[in-house]
Structure 1
């Protein structure tokens, strides 16, 4: 399906949202791979998913196949998941190794991506491969950074410095200490919906009390504040979202260390364009990373953290399990809804949708961010 993004009317998105075709067009998805997922900062996974040296996690996003590695210095490195010989995929699933060996011709790589050896490189000779010949054949590295335990990459290598990109959100979250984030659970999901629908849904506070009545009350959501932090970071804030929520236990999890009194009842959630969805509660953090692989298919990682390491004590085991079960149930409800929405939102009749000024301004901004990037790339 061919669609000219330059012809999409930015003004119309304020009333109707993006046109239906952009949620299913293979041509649009191909354009997104360059204009959105290769050009800026995108997230891949949570660093605590790789706790040990040698842990490896293959990730697909857009048209890129990447490999995240915990190296010998216990740092996170990201490489293209392709052998430098004939571009064979190196790793198919999460694993832990000290030497990475290509399954095709047995080229071997160290955890830092350097080439160790290539069997019979000189043909009918027992000579070992020279350091000079190895030098330019290591894995292709990807610019990466870890922030709030989230692994971000910039495939093009020319995005603005990450600290500048994320500064508006850092300022919004002043007083929250991410150093104590402790992994409670990490769960993988698949969705037969366009990635933009997943992001749009996360930024839609309107649906929460109706689809997820276990998560928040209608009265609480009425107090939401829209957040427009930068050209690429938007979100919502519920000043009393946490304090209004019915307690599920008489022994609540401990708050972020040194949290201000103002924020002890506040919930905030953010869309970091394009695919990072961060929910910050006084006692827990939820991170959803959406990785599109096709117009109508995406994988998601839902990672849940305790905000304070004291919450990992045995005495809080039941509370952690309730938290994980509740948030995963919310995500399952969303994916079930999104998989159905993929059919109706891409129908021609969806162009007659009516967005509501009282609720949909953050969603409108997300659509406009996407459109600006796509039109700029299209010239």
Structure 2
């Protein structure tokens, strides 16, 4: 399908954003799966969701089925959730095991992905596979890293080194110690909308005081700063956002240790293209991982972290619960809106929408990044 780039590259003073067709076309989604979701660095889960040896988490990412595993050495690895015999899915829900067993023909795999056994591989013979014969029959591993408790994968295996990819964000987050992040909650969501709408909404500071008025005042977002860190990382910054907004809890929570004084009241949120949404507050962090599964359906995990280990003490039990409830309620409001937006944003009339210079520059950049990635086939 040919995409009309004039919507965002026009010399016209009016900018309309991506055309409605890209939010409802299955061919476009398949192209995204091949060009964006497989070739780039995409997030799939939070590392702290896999707390113990043998914890396994299956996820879908575009047309790929994956599993994240915490192995015997406490390392998290990611594999294709595809048996090496006839490509049956091995795991269909989160679990904890010592051996992975394919439900189809009972090929079994160790936590490091290597083949443990394949019953009656040689038919009517008692001979078993030798270690050498097993060596090329293990699960297919996916290139992966963990950063800020986020498991990133590069399915194609040929993206730039992750440290280069994330360097601009590492620089701006210097002084925030991600090693102190402690998970408060993880909540799963589904939306009957296009994944790009979720990312676009996260990067839209304009809607926040209107859709989430219970949590944010209008004057809190009036001094937002646009952040353009790289061709993959964009976001927004509120220099005094944490102090301007109503308190999420009735007792102040501890901030990041060693936090630079210039960031004491700062809130920043980032879209790490394509699907990682990170919100950094002085006392808490919110991570949303969007997993596209169809042109009109995605799943996501919302994980909320304490920025300081002291927050996990019993004296803050009520405050942690309140914080989690508030942030999840905000997310529920967004999901409800996006499910409705899928209907109207895919209508022909949506192509006449006009983006606003004062508020939508980060969204325009997101659309431009998407277009550039789609051209790189």
- The two structures share one fold, judged by TM-score above 0.5: yes
1:242-261, Cα deviation, whole Å (9 max, x unpaired): 01122354421100010011
In 2, the alpha carbon distance for the partners of 1:289 and 1:344 equals: 24
Partner of 1:136: 136
2:191, 2:335 within 8 Å by CA — same for their partners in 1? yes
1:11-90, aligned counterparts within 5 Å? 11-12=9-10, 15-90=15-90
Could you tell me which residue of structure 1 aligns to residue 361 of structure 2?
361
Q: Which residue of 2 aligns with 1:226?
A: 226
Structure 1 residues not aligned, in runs of 5+: none
Distance in 1 between the 2:376 and 2:246 partners? Answer: 46
Distance 1:119 1:269, change over 3 A: same
- C-alpha contact (below 8 Å) 1:38/1:154 kept by paired residues: yes
Match of 2:291 in 1: 291
Answer whether contact 1:216 1:241 (CA < 8 A) is retained.
no
- Which whole-Å deviations, capped at 9, do the CAs of 1:323-360 have from their partners, x for residues lacking one? 00000000000000000000000000000001000000
**TM alignment of 1:80-159, pairs within 5 A:** 80-159=80-159
Query: Which residue number in structure 2 is paired with residue 346 of structure 1?
Result: 346
Once superposed, what is the RMSD of the aligned Cα atoms? 1.0
- Counterpart of 1:371 in structure 2 is 371
4+ runs deviating over 6 angstroms: none
Aligned to 2:138, the other structure's residue is in SS state coil
Mapped partners of 1:85, 1:145: distance in 2: 27
SS in 1 for 2:331: helix
Q: Spell out the pairing of 1:175-190 with structure 2 (5 A cutoff).
A: 175-190=175-190
1:311 corresponds to 2:311? yes
Q: TM-score scaled to structure 1, two decimals?
A: 0.97
Aligned 8 A contact 1:109 1:117 in 2: yes
Unaligned runs of 5+ in 2: none
Give yes or no for contact 1:189–1:300 (8 Å, CA) kept in 2.
Answer: yes
Q: Which residue of 1 aligns with 2:2?
A: 4
- CA deviations 1:280-316 (Å, max 9, x no partner) are 0000000000000000000000000000011000000
